Amino acid sequence: MAEHNLPILVVEDDPSLREAIADTLELAGRPCVAVDGGEAALKVLEEQAFSIVVSDVRMMPMDGITLLKEIRARLPHLPVVLMTAYAEVDKAVDAMRSGACDFLLKPFEPQALLAHINKYELPASDDGSGVVAIDPASRELFAVAQRVAQTDATVLLTGESGVGKEVVARFIHRQSARKNGPFVAINCAAIPDSLLEATLFGYEKGAFTGAQQAQAGKFEQAQDGTLLLDEVTEMPMGLQAKLLRVLQEREVERVGGKKPVALNIRIIATSNRDMAEAVAKGVFREDLYYRLNVFPVGIPSLRQRRGDIVPIARHFVVEHGGRFGRTGMSLSSAAEAALREHSWPGNVRELENVIQRALIMATGSTIGPEVLNLAPRSSGETTVVQPAAAPTPVEHSGLTDTDKKVDNMKDLEREHILRTLAEVGGSRKKAIERLGISERTLRYKLQQYRDEGHFQD
């Protein structure tokens, strides 16, 4: 969202200057918390989240440099801007080495203060994105995401199913220089193996039966933008080799094509599995793993960032309440307490489903715990989320690369024809119009698929 919903922490031992800074921020519509020293700052940082810290250097008994080092140890990605009336080179060098974003030399104009804050602070959420980052763990996550967004590095997002990996990927895209380019996502686990290659790389006209015209794949569609390879560990080994080449050469060749297409894209990959374990088991290429693992980001589960549970739930109440025609709905304090106590094995996806059901079931304008339908859990119970089962490694078949390519094209052709037939409700007349083939050819192909056990009338 456009407004900043986290306050700014001001640390200044001079009462008059502290009040002046707080007034400046409040007049600019920016909430702030002002404290008189380092100890008070560390205490309040344990109690709530902030978008940035603005601190004086010359303070007693804890000076600004010591406070900065304490913040870096506890919240390493929280931005800190230091104020000083003394342009001392050694202090500036020490502070920058300790992780300060910048210096403000006293006296400074209100515009200078606001400019520094706008430049360095971290957003609690993004425009209409549904990003909610209140818990310190998620604040750290999005701080890291914002930093890597400023580069073109390949990012590998890992975490349990339902934690919001695509939300983080979209955040990185929106914070990057590619934000005006396309964001293209493909779920590698949701597309049949025989169609995945054509979907990713595209195909030329005539590459297989029914390919009436050339089609750009996801790589080309993401040109000048970001491509998300969701659940990349589910990709077949054969395609992993081709993906590795695309990442190395930064060019893609369509199925049935001979001319490579140069790519200018950013790659983000996700997985809900232990990728090192997948490599050890031989179901994921080690060289591809290292190519994707340029900047790894682990996303904590929802139970590891409990400060986000209620804010995310409130967000879903507003979002889905509008869609369901139930605006003005709210959660009761008892319902919020129940949400905080739940272990959330399904993470944010489970929370969203719970809120949607509650919106439907609630009879009044308040959602109580009785309509949340949360499964009761015994005290001390630990939820273990098992990773997805690893696919069985494909044994060496003895086929040549040419044989494999022919088989792959046949599979691709069959999937395309059968999918088209299903889309037109089984009408062969409509199917041949879409496929651009004769009725005789379609009849021959279908008989072939029957004999192979791939098709039944």
Query: With contact defined as beta carbons under 8 Å apart, do 134 and 141 qualify?
Result: no
Query: With contact defined as beta carbons under 8 Å apart, do 9 and 32 qualify?
Result: yes
Q: So what's the pLDDT on residue 439?
A: 75
Query: With contact defined as beta carbons under 8 Å apart, do 185 and 228 qualify?
Result: yes
Q: What is the CATH number of domain 401-451?
A: 1.10.10
Residues 6+ apart with CB under 8 A from 448: none
Q: Tens digit of pLDDT for each residue in 73-131?
A: 887 767 889 988 765 556 666 667 777 878 888 888 999 999 888 877 765 544 445 57
Q: Is residue 407 predicted with pLDDT exceeding 80?
A: no
Q: Is residue 309 predicted with pLDDT exceeding 90?
A: yes
Q: So what's the pLDDT on residue 438?
A: 72
Task: Say how far apart CA 50 and CA 121 lie, in whole Å.
Answer: 9
Q: So what's the pLDDT on residue 398?
A: 42
Q: Residue 196 to residues 58, 63, 185: CA-CA distances in angstroms? A: 61, 58, 13
Q: So what's the pLDDT on residue 383?
A: 38
- Indicate the fold that domain 8-120 takes in CATH: Rossmann fold (3.40.50)
Query: With contact defined as beta carbons under 8 Å apart, do 316 and 326 qualify?
Result: no
- Indicate the fold that domain 136-298 takes in CATH: Rossmann fold (3.40.50)
Q: So what's the pLDDT on residue 191?
A: 84
Query: With contact defined as beta carbons under 8 Å apart, do 290 and 296 qualify?
Result: no
Q: Do domains 8-120 and 136-298 have the same CATH topology?
A: yes
Q: So what's the pLDDT on residue 8?
A: 93
Task: Say how far apart CA 322 and CA 317 lie, in whole Å.
Answer: 8
Domain ranges of the chain: 8-120, 136-298, 302-371, 401-451
Considering the chain, what percentage of its residues have pLDDT values greater than 90? 44
Q: Which two tokens stand for residue 211?
A: 């390919």
Higher pLDDT among residues 211 and 244, named by residue: 244
Three-class SS of 49-92: CCCEEEEECCCCCCCHHHHHHHHHHHCCCCCEEEEECCCCHHHH
Q: How many Cα neighbours within 13 Å face the side chain of 12?
A: 22
pLDDT band at 298 (very low <50, low <70, confident <90, very high): very high
pLDDT band at 20 (very low <50, low <70, confident <90, very high): very high
Segment 159-181 mean pLDDT = 93
Segment 6-31 mean pLDDT = 92
Query: With contact defined as beta carbons under 8 Å apart, do 428 and 421 qualify?
Result: yes
Question: How many separate helices (H) and strands (E) can be counted in the chain?
Answer: 18, 16
- Indicate the fold that domain 302-371 takes in CATH: Helicase, Ruva Protein; domain 3 (1.10.8)
Query: Which residues pair with residue 187 across a beta bridge?
Result: 230
Task: Say how far apart CA 25 and CA 123 lie, in whole Å.
Answer: 16
Q: So what's the pLDDT on residue 87?
A: 57
Q: So what's the pLDDT on residue 318?
A: 84
Segment 409-418 mean pLDDT = 73
Segment 338-346 mean pLDDT = 95
Segment 240-258 mean pLDDT = 87
**The total number of residues written for the chain in this structure:** 457
Q: Is residue 15 predicted with pLDDT exceeding 90?
A: yes
Query: With contact defined as beta carbons under 8 Å apart, do 8 and 32 qualify?
Result: yes
Segment 184-194 mean pLDDT = 86
Residue by residue, DSSP assigns 292-328 as HTTEEEEPPPGGG-GGGHHHHHHHHHHHHHHHTT-TT
pLDDT band at 208 (very low <50, low <70, confident <90, very high): low
User: Which of 56-60, 267-271, 322-326 has the least mean pLDDT?
Assistant: 322-326
Q: Determine the angle formed by the axes of helices 64-74 and 89-98, rounding to 10 degrees.
A: 10
Task: Say how far apart CA 67 and CA 61 lie, in whole Å.
Answer: 10
DSSP at 255: B
User: Which of 58-72, 265-279, 339-353, 399-413 has the least mean pLDDT?
Assistant: 399-413
pLDDT band at 51 (very low <50, low <70, confident <90, very high): confident
Question: H helices within 330-400, ranges in order?
Answer: 333-341, 347-361
Higher pLDDT among residues 389 and 177, named by residue: 177
